[in-house]
Structure 1
Amino acid sequence: MTVIENLQQIKSEIAAACQRVSRDPSEVKIIAVTKYVSVERTKEALNAGVEHIGENRIEGGLEKKESLGSIGTWHFIGSLQSKKVKKMIHDFDYIHSLDRLSLAEEIDKRVEDDRVVNCFIQVNVSGEETKAGLSPNDLTVFIENLKQYSKIKVVGLMTMAPFVEDPEETRTVFRQLKELQKKVQTMNFYHAPCNELSMGMSNDFHIAVEEGATYIRVGTSLVGKEV
């Protein structure tokens, strides 16, 4: 199937999920995860109407962005090493993996203009050792400590659910992230409005949407896998 056909199918599934829980489908934004596909396939996604592009690797993402020009909104969705922040900070619009103060300090230091970086805090809700992210118990204190970094805006929270055969099993993870978001919002942090939730991938995004996702990250079901 073409990207545009895949996109229509995903939008239909989002609409159905939203209808089940009385949400507006326009609240859900699709990030095309293009780590495993070419510049041409990424361009096809943009031409199909996808606005948001997600990359796990800095080098691959920068190559695609340079080839495609200034079109699209670019999200860095992989684990980010502090030493690589300088290389990518002015080319990505969102960072989905803020999870430690040393990284926040580096981001704040490397922004050379008046820009404020839109960041999602990655939370390891499932508690899996193989996944990065803050413990839910550490989230509030972490956000309070981010006040000192004027170049960082916490737009939301991100999590990765376990990859399981039955997507329904991921529901509790997404629901817990939504509860954490509500908790943060009650604290009325100026630097952390936390209005967004980045959660759900190709196998479980419909569950994530039902539980409040505003950004879903889809790769294989949208652009396929070429390498």
Structure 2
Amino acid sequence: MSSEIKERYKNTLTRIDAACKNAGRDPSEITLVAVSKTKPDEDVLALVKEGQLHFGENRAKALETRMQNIEDESVQWHFIGNLQTNKIKYMAHRVNWIQSVHKKKALKEIEKRASREGRTINALIQVNISDEDQKSGCDPKDLEKILKYGQDLKHTRVRGLMGMATFTDDHDIVRPEFKLLKQLSDEHQHLNDGAVNLEHISMGMTNDFEVAIEEGSTMVRIGTAIFGERNY
């Protein structure tokens, strides 16, 4: 199976390069977060050997287990799922990025837990760009107050924004949603101060990452295109 994953991984990198070329961008601007949910550790380790260092999980328990099993300190761990504040304590000792922060309360908890661990954790503020009730993320109008709160943190770095587009193959639907997140990033650059530096835009998954790159994404979260369909 690892040979198939390596082939899909290389194909994904090729697609990222092509999307960057089409958009007049440098592929080095894009961080690929390989989303390994439900897949065995061996599959993750196979990609580490290929040089892939950023991995994402969408469940706190799965991330905790993965971080325990794979001790390579060069790996950057991302939590990308619906963030429950009471689950932050289970990942604060090792997680590098929490991409789904959607309220001040979560930032406060990350700061507390990171401080206790003597660590600094990178955070992205998730914005609801699809206007779907079931999608997590703050309302765009609440973004400014969250970022202002983040400026004074000592153990948390707010590094950008994250968004999840409507799950569809219709690029005419997702493109304006990606444009919105890029616009919000641009409009809030004046809040870059202290612990806030909006340098990243995490958007784009297997079915739409080329469009996301065209619209300014700096992080793409890709699971199925690399690992195949998940095991439920």
RMSD between aligned residues = 1.5
Deviates more, 1:141-150 or 1:176-185: 141-150
Aligned partner of 2:148 in structure 1 is: 144
Return the match for 2:19 from 17, 20, 31: 17
Matched, 1:110 2:113: yes
- For the Cα contact (< 8 Å) 2:127–2:138, is it kept in 1? yes
Unmatched 5+ residue regions in structure 2?
Answer: none
Aligned partner of 2:228 in structure 1 is: 224
Q: Within 2, Cα distance between the matches of 1:168 and 1:4? A: 31
Q: Which aligned pairs between 1:83-98 and structure 2 lie closer than 5 A?
A: 83-98=86-101
Please state whether the residue corresponding to 1:14 is helix, strand or coil. Answer: helix
Aligned partner of 2:139 in structure 1 is: 135
Partner amino acid for 2:80? I
Q: Which aligned pairs between 1:1-227 and structure 2 lie closer than 5 A?
A: 2-70=4-72, 71-111=74-114, 112-227=116-231
Give the drift of 1:175. 0.9
Partner amino acid for 1:79? N
Q: Within 2, Cα distance between the matches of 1:138 and 1:37? A: 36
Partner amino acid for 2:5? V
- For the Cα contact (< 8 Å) 2:148–2:191, is it kept in 1? no
The superposition leaves residues 86-115 of structure 1 with CA deviations (integer Å, 9 ceiling, x where unpaired) of 111111100001111111111111121442
TM-score, normalised relative to structure 1: 0.94
Q: Within 1, Cα distance between the matches of 2:191 and 2:67? A: 37
- For the Cα contact (< 8 Å) 2:41–2:66, is it kept in 1? yes
Q: Within 2, Cα distance between the matches of 1:132 and 1:88? A: 19
Give the drift of 1:64. 1.9
Unmatched 5+ residue regions in structure 1?
Answer: none
TM-score, normalised relative to structure 2: 0.92
- For the Cα contact (< 8 Å) 1:168–1:207, is it kept in 2? no
Q: 1:199 to 1:176 in 2, by over 3 A?
A: same
- For the Cα contact (< 8 Å) 2:31–2:218, is it kept in 1? yes
Partner amino acid for 1:93? N
Partner amino acid for 1:170? V
Q: 1:123 to 1:226 in 2, by over 3 A?
A: closer
Q: Within 2, Cα distance between the matches of 1:164 and 1:188? A: 33
Q: How many residues align?
A: 227
Moved segments of 4+, more than 3 Å: none
Q: Within 2, Cα distance between the matches of 1:121 and 1:214? A: 14
Give the drift of 1:83. 1.2
Q: Within 2, Cα distance between the matches of 1:113 and 1:36? A: 27
